[in-house]
Amino acid sequence: MSKIKSIALCLWKAFISIIRATLPQNRNEKKVFVFSFVFYLFLGCFWLFHVNQDGGFTLLGYDTYEYTIGEFLIPYKVLFFKLRHPLMAFWLFPISVIAYLPEWLLGVASVLPVFTVAANLAMALSTSLVWRICRLINPSSCYGNLICTGVYFSFAQIIIISFAVESFPFSSLALLSYISYDCFHHKKTDIYSDNLFFAIISGITITNGLKFVLAQFLWKGRCLDFVKKMIKSSFLFLFLIGIAIFVAVVRWEFLIRPVSPDVPLISLLLGDSMNYVIHYDFFQWLKVVGYNFFVSPILLCVDAINFEGFDFSKKVLRNLSIWIIPLSLFYGSLLLSLWINRKKQLVHVFLCFLVVDMLIHLILGYGLNEGHIFSAHWLFMFPILLAMLSNLFRSAIVKNIYYLCLFLFSGILFIHNMSYIVTGIINMN
């Protein structure tokens, strides 16, 4: 019993340490966080004001997760298990309780506002972490790092996921928190913080667990040491997963099968995951990859609301033709930064993240036509790579020209994306 208490205490101390490392730590980080949160909250309130909650709604494929509907607050359903997001219901339970209490007690429709504010907080914290990492990489230029963070702030999917009730804001925050803590925090990670990060990251989205494993391999050194480390780091995740799977099996055996005997257990655990696996012929595949992997996460060329898949209409092609040079220069800068900084460990971690997403989405075809499914998991690396690239310039004039170009790009991009999103929200119904 004393051993269990000791482990629980160590996990709690690791949790508090991670929370402290994730929260803004100085005045500039606090300013970035507050500004981001106020903007995201304003946009979220604007969206909620135009949502017809009774008629249903879609937003670039986003929808309210089954994890957040009221019946899942029943104790055994909080451990609802689906392979894609195995512990998502578990992590959202505290937010769900806060969201539903006003509705239960006062009859106030509070679910979407509470979850929207939670997404606002997650994205504002993510933005402040992007600022922190840029500052640690490029400590010589405060306003330059602010401009790089502004580039992140202007991406289409970053704006949208700040008020979308999905796993993506929480997933983005968890990955950034892990990078910041493991790469730059003054304290070394230990087995308890590793267990927490593994349980949180893999529990939100199982594919991101692969990113954690690869990052651990890069940071921890030799193969044998890595295997031992991963085994020790997985105890909390396996314990929680074991409970969730046990509850899912009991639920299927005693509640679902008596009513629907044709429903197999595997379909219950997979949910509708296989519906997202899409294959195209080669030329169609190139179009889908080009638009949904490289364009739509950054630039909106279609109506933001009720958008499904992709559409190469004349309007889309006209917008792309205008943006082809800025986007080419933008991606060229990223590739240059990758090449120049190719020996740095953080770049290796970023490349591992991209390899996982390319394998799952480009090769296997999972969610290939929906850029929002995967873009939030690696868009944060773009401003960090831009901050890395700024270290290349020794001349103050050249560096200022570089920052000016980034400022103009992010400003115009932000105005363009906001016009599409706001227009789409206004015309939603």
DSSP 66: G
Q: What is the mean pLDDT of each run of 10 residues along the chain (429 residues)?
A: 80 87 88 93 87 59 53 58 82 82 79 87 94 88 89 91 84 91 68 89 88 78 72 88 83 78 75 72 78 84 56 65 88 92 87 85 79 83 92 86 93 91 76
Q: How far apart are CA 64 and CA 166, in angstroms?
A: 7
Name the token pair of 337.
């930064």
Name the token pair of 201.
């990251």
DSSP 189: P
Name the token pair of 133.
């990492």
Q: At 53, is the secondary structure helix, strand, or coil?
A: coil
Residue whose C-alpha is closest to residue 174's, from 151, 198, 158: 198
C-beta of residue 369 within 8 angstroms of C-beta of residue 292: yes
What pLDDT sits at residue 37? 95
Q: How far apart are CA 198 and CA 183, in angstroms?
A: 16
Burial of 151 (0-12, 13-18, 19+ CB in 10 A): buried
Q: How far apart are CA 328 and CA 342, in angstroms?
A: 20
Q: At 61, is the secondary structure helix, strand, or coil?
A: coil
Q: How far is CA 119 from CA 123, 124, 374, in A?
A: 6, 8, 17
Bridge partners for 62 per DSSP: 59
Rg, the chain, Cα only: 22
Q: How far apart are CA 44 and CA 28, in angstroms?
A: 24
Burial of 31 (0-12, 13-18, 19+ CB in 10 A): middle
What pLDDT sits at residue 339? 92
State pTM to two decimals.
Answer: 0.89
Give how far the C-alpha of residue 339 lies from the chain's centroid of Cα atoms, to the nearest Å.
Answer: 25
Q: How far apart are CA 126 and CA 30, in angstroms?
A: 12
Amino acid in position 330:
F
